[in-house]
Amino acid sequence: GLLGFPGGFVDRRYWSLEDGLNRVLGLGLGCVRLTEADYLCSHLTEGPHRVVAHFYARQLTLEELHTIEISAVHSRDHGLEVMGMVRVPLYTQKDRMGGLPNFLGNSFVGTAKFQLLFALKILNMVPEEKLAEAVAATQKPKKLPVDH
């Protein structure tokens, strides 16, 4: 029920971070193999279970992305732990909510929202002022859903 990035725990006695990540991705995404060059940032979660989340990002061609989406639907995890895969809209529509602002209003797991915003900023995927506007829009009180 939450949006997040694929990943998992790595047993550091047996695996490097990248080997562990590629093992997990292999179950769901198939063809991509990430390396140290794709490392972006790390984040220490708060709360009783302190977890360090290491975040990797890779630029794909549209064709590569589509191949991953197709392989994800066919993967063994699909429908169990993973309920689907969605693209992130990088645009903002004229109404100032459509696209990225609405997407950021969804519910994210753990540090996923922080990781997404960090990647969008550091990889220059969204103009800085558009990103700031989108973040600001999701912090306004939302209209309540109409339930009759």
AA identity, residue 90: L
Segment interacting with a copy of itself (CB under 8 A) among 16-24, 28-36, 74-82, 122-130: 74-82
Q: Show contacts with a copy of itself in window 2-61 (CB under 8 A).
A: 2-3, 43, 45-46
Cβ at position 14, least distance to a copy of itself in Å: 28
Rule CB under 8 A: say whether 148 interacts with a copy of itself. Answer: yes
Nearer to a copy of itself, 18 or 103 (CB): 103
Q: Which stretch binds a copy of itself (CB under 8 A): 9-17, 26-34, 53-61, 111-119?
A: 111-119
Q: Can you tell me which of 60, 79, 123, 128 binds a copy of itself, judged by CB under 8 A? A: 79
63 is written with which tokens?
Answer: 């064709």
CA dihedral sign, ordered 31, 33, 37, 40: positive
For residues 30 and 75, the answer to whether their CB atoms sit within 8 Å is: yes
CA distances from 42 to 31, 107, 118 (A): 24, 21, 11
Q: Do the Cβ atoms of 86 and 3 come closer than 8 Å?
A: yes
Residue 75's closest CA among 30, 135, 120, 41? 30
Contact segment (CB under 8 A) with a copy of itself among 13-21, 22-30, 87-95, 119-127 equals 87-95
Tokens in use for 15? 């695996």
Residues that bind a copy of itself (CB under 8 A): 1-3, 43, 45-46, 62, 66, 69-70, 73-74, 78-79, 83-89, 98-108, 111, 113-114, 117, 142, 145-148
